[in-house]
Amino acid sequence: MLAFTPPRVHAGSPVVLGPTEPVVALTALQSGVGGLTVEAACSDAVGDLRLACAYRLVGARPSLVAHSREIPVAGLHARRPVIVSSRERFEQLVVDLRQVRSLERLVVLAYSESGAALDWGGTLVVHGFGGLRVEAPLRHGRSAGVLVALSVLRVGGELVLRAEDELVEGTLRDACTAHGFDEITWVDTRTPLV
């Protein structure tokens, strides 16, 4: 149980997470119906921004999903993934909420595929059931590294979203290790062994 009660997201009322109010909780219905989509709404001026997701599923070792790293799905059963990473108009991650009981926690990571400095801007937008919309602005000056943008934690039957907004100097491996995913094994500093 949480030591405090974070504000709830109300359908049809977008929430913008920031330094003064970085946490929101979804209702049990919002946490268990359909999919939770996280996308990076950024212009090309930002650079080659990509998304990855470090995650821990119940009873499994943590790992990483990243479309650009050719690891597009996560889950205990490949035919029914818990998390899917893809690129449509924007980079996006989709969590299958029918399997929310399999998810312990995840963090959304934003980074440059080429390793270049990014002109951080845009917004991480989370969409869900019944008009759910949560935004986390990506506000940093031009810099390299990995932005730990958002964390999602399952507490009971509900999901809690937190804008982390922490720029980690280094690689995907460094960012994962800094946020408690140190059990992931790696082929190199950007590619996990799956």
The domain that holds 28 is classified in CATH as: 2.60.60
Query: Which residue in the block uniquely carries the two structure tokens 């470090």?
Result: 54
Mean pLDDT calculated for residue range 45-71: 92
Instruction: Specify if 150 maps to a domain.
Output: yes
Instruction: Specify if 188 maps to a domain.
Output: no
| Interatomic CA distance for residues 145 and 160, integer angstroms | 25
Going from the C-alpha of 38 to that of each of 106, 151, 153, 174, 188, the distances in angstroms are 12, 11, 14, 22, 26
Q: How many domains does the chain have?
A: 1
Q: By residue range, what is the domain housing residue 126?
A: 15-178
- What's residue 132's pLDDT? 94
- What's residue 9's pLDDT? 86
- What's residue 13's pLDDT? 84
Tens digits of residue pLDDT in 1-36: 556 688 888 877 899 999 999 999 999 999 999 999
Instruction: Specify if 78 maps to a domain.
Output: yes
- What's residue 3's pLDDT? 65
Tens digits of residue pLDDT in 92-132: 999 999 999 999 999 999 999 999 999 999 999 999 998 99
| Interatomic CA distance for residues 171 and 114, integer angstroms | 11
Residue 173 DSSP SS3: helix
- What's residue 7's pLDDT? 85
* pTM, rounded to two decimals: 0.93
Tens digits of residue pLDDT in 148-187: 999 999 998 899 999 999 999 999 999 999 999 999 999 9
